Structures are given as C-alpha cells and as structure tokens.
Amino acid sequence: MPLQPSGTLHSSRPMRKHFLIVGAGFSGATLARELVEGLDCQVTVIDERPHLGGNCHSQRDPATGVMVHVYGPHIFHTDREEVWNYVNRFDRFQPFINRIKASTSRGIFTLPINLHTINQFFQKRLNPEQAREFLKTLSDSSIGEPKNFEEHALKFLGRELYEGFLYGYTVKQWGCEPRELPASILKRLPLRFNYDDNYYLGAFQGIPTNGYTAVMEKMLDHPRVQVRVSTRFDRGMEGEFDHTFYSGPLDGYFDYSQGRLGYRTVTFERIEAEGDYQGNPIINYPDLRDPFTRIHEHKHFTPWESHQRTVGFKEYSKETGAGDVPYYPKRLEGDRKLLEEYQQLAREVQGVSFVGRLGTYRYMDMHQVIGEALDLARSFVMNCR
C-alpha cells in the first residue's frame, strides 16, 4: 500500500479499470480490498486527514503508551459471523465486553438499565417478573404509539428512570429536547430484566489487538491500492476514474447547495494520571450539572496490556459547524426533508456510489458499515465481470 501525501492524481487512465474511493475509514478500506481481490483493477483511496481510519483512527499516546481511540471509544460487535471473520483476517480481535456505568446524584449505576440498575435505583429486591410489573406502574399509560424519544421513554421506563439516566444525557448529546428526537433513537438502547450488564448483544465482540488503524493499514496493503492522505476531494477528480465511491458527507459532495444536514460532533478534554483514574472504560454523566456527557479511560480498552500511567478524556457534544468533524446524524424533521433533496440529487449523478455513515446520512456502527461495503463491493464486482 503506497501511503503518500497529497499531490496530483492521474493524468491518464490506465488500461485496467481504475476506481476512486473517497475516505480511508472502514467503508473505504473494505471496498478497496474487495475490489482489488475481485477484479483486475487499480484503486486509489484518498482522505483529507493525515491518517487512515476515519473516526475509528487509533494511535499510541506518546506520554503514556496507551492505545487511544482518537475520536472516541469504538467497541466492535456484530451478529454477522462473516463480518467478524473478515475483520479478523487483518488483526486478532481480542474479546471485550463493554460494561458502562452512570454517575448520578444518587450514586453509580450499571448501564444499560437492567435488573441490577432497577433494584439499586429504587432500593428493591425484585425478580425479573416483579421488575416488569413494577415498571408498568411507573409508565405513562396514556401514551399509545410513542411519537418521539421522550414519549417512548415515559411509556416503557417511567419518569424517574428517564430523568435519572436519559433526559440530561440526551439534552447534552443531541443539543435539543428529547421530544424533538425520533423514538427510534431510544429503541437502540437496551432494557433488560436480568443482571446482564453487557451493553451489546452481538454474538461477536472485541477490540483489535493492535488498534483499528492497524486493521485498515493491512486492509489497504495491496500492490494495486494506492492511498493518498491529506488530500481533499473535489468533483473534478471523477473524470480520471471509471467509478467513484464517496464516503464523505452527502451534503458536502453537493457543496451544501440545499443547506447543511444536522450533525452533532464531540470535543475532548484530556485527563492524564498515575495508575487508574476511574476503574472502568466508560462512565456516563447524565446529570445536566456536568457539562460533559462521559469520561472514557483508554487503558481499560486493552486489558491485555499493562501501563503505569493512564489517559482519559471528558467528552463534550456540540453542534457541527464548518470545519468540525461530523459524528452523529441528527435526522430531525428538517434534516429528513433536506435529505430527500440530496438523495434526489445523488440519484442523478452518474458513476458515483454514496456509501458509509456520512455518504448515506444514517447512524451506523462499524459492523454495519463493513457489512454494507462487503455487499456493495461484491455486487459491483459481479456487474463488472
């Protein structure tokens, strides 16, 4: 994989097909690998950042030696064995269970909300069936089909759990009242009536031994893949290639001609200390009195390593402005209307596939991004033969 800085791309098209991939994250890396393994083609991957990995980029912290998830924590989880086997081709994914805690004014609790959380929060000794019945007494029975995040929480959790764990965190994370958000966001958060504190239910869960960037370096390590970092995309490049796969922001591709789609982004405040700072990888802070949403301590993401010093980050959420890294598509009502306009423009573009979280303006985890890229690449290869 020739990893090169920015520069002129290609002035003439080679005889074999040549594809451009915009973005060197998991979507772009998967597409590149599958295309060169499935076709006699050349692939050029560009990324405007000076590194591979997109928002999954990881690197050794020079002060502590800890492997840091530079853009926030990433825990790989999937039920799709094919995807799990695929990523393990490029590095061994060590078993890792994500157990999150929440720091509230009433104490430290286990997330996701489960039987332990319920019993501890209400100082009870309920069994699973009793807990189900108990929550029914707390729920707002006047709500039929929930129309938004808040109604969904009040219907299934009741006001005390909602305000204790979700309201403040959601306001800080999304920058708006929860009733402005779709109910589907809460549906992604599990509720359990047992003592299982594994945040994810995927059959396969882990973190790569050498970090996520090392995985993508190996995915892109192929003689017919060329990678150029610190290279901004412009649409004039497309004429030099047979097809373009674009994983950047959908609205950015069209120069924000219809307006900007809403995203939240995050910033970090570094914490460095001796030993162990908080005793857990992630602790959420749902109280509005805490301006940050959570603290993540990265040595706990690699329990197979040993470090004397530790590094963590307070995470703050804010609206995404020009120059910010977009993280989470908001998909409010105005965004959905604007998205339809951009999707119509995208359908009119020839020779370009819009891929990944940003290119399709959807919230997707790593395994979903990789799975879709695998499916798209294989379909594209079949059509090219």
Question: Which residue among the candidates 140, 180, 341, 365 is catalytic per the annotation?
Answer: 365
Question: Which residue among the candidates 197, 238, 315, 372 is catalytic per the annotation?
Answer: 315
Going by C-beta distance under 8 Å and a sequence separation of 6 or more, which residues neighbour residue 101? 108, 109, 110, 111, 280, 282, 283, 284
Q: What pLDDT does 13 receive?
A: 52
Tell me: the pLDDT tens digits for 227-243?
Answer: 999 999 999 999 999 99
Q: What pLDDT does 93 receive?
A: 98
Tell me: the pLDDT tens digits for 310-353?
Answer: 999 999 999 998 888 899 998 888 999 999 999 999 999 999 99
Tell me: the pLDDT tens digits for 142-179?
Answer: 999 999 999 999 999 999 999 999 999 999 999 999 99
Q: Is the pLDDT of residue 1 over 70?
A: no
Q: Is the pLDDT of residue 190 over 90?
A: no
Running DSSP on this structure, what letter comes out for residue 280? S
Tokens of 227: 């990678």
Q: What pLDDT does 9 receive?
A: 53
- Give the helix/strand (H/E) hosting 184: helix 184-187
CA-to-CA distance for 367 and 203, rounded, in angstroms? 12
Tell me: the pLDDT tens digits for 73-99?
Answer: 999 999 999 999 999 999 999 999 999
Q: What pLDDT does 2 receive?
A: 44
Q: At what angle do helices 115-122 and 128-138 cross, to 10 degrees?
A: 60
DSSP alpha helices (H): ranges in 23-158? Answer: 26-38, 81-88, 115-122, 128-138, 149-156
- Going along the chain from its start, the domains and CATH numbers come out as 3-96+206-258+330-384 (3.40.50.720), 112-187 (no CATH)
CA-to-CA distance for 167 and 142, rounded, in angstroms? 20
Residues 286-303 have a mean pLDDT of 98
Closest CA to 332 of 259, 247, 255, 257: 259
Looking up tokens 């960037």 gives: 213
CA-to-CA distance for 293 and 270, rounded, in angstroms? 14
Tokens of 119: 């019993």
Quick one: pLDDT band at residue 186, thresholds 50, 70, 90? Answer: confident
Question: Which residue among the candidates 199, 263, 290, 294 is catalytic per the annotation?
Answer: 294
Q: What pLDDT does 175 receive?
A: 94
294 is catalytic: yes
188 is catalytic: yes
Residues 13-41 have a mean pLDDT of 93
Question: Which residue among the candidates 192, 228, 331, 357 is catalytic per the annotation?
Answer: 192
264 is catalytic: yes
Q: Do the Cβ atoms of 207 and 93 come closer than 8 Å? A: yes
Q: Is the pLDDT of residue 5 over 80?
A: no
315 is catalytic: yes
224 is catalytic: no
Question: Which residue among the candidates 125, 145, 188, 289 is catalytic per the annotation?
Answer: 188
Closest CA to 358 of 57, 32, 87, 55: 55
Tokens of 173: 């994370």
Q: Is the pLDDT of residue 6 over 60?
A: no
Q: What pLDDT does 3 receive?
A: 47
Going by C-beta distance under 8 Å and a sequence separation of 6 or more, which residues neighbour residue 211? 58, 59, 60, 67
Average pLDDT, the chain: 94
Question: Which residue among the candidates 264, 290, 335, 342 is catalytic per the annotation?
Answer: 264
89 is catalytic: no
Tokens of 290: 């805490």
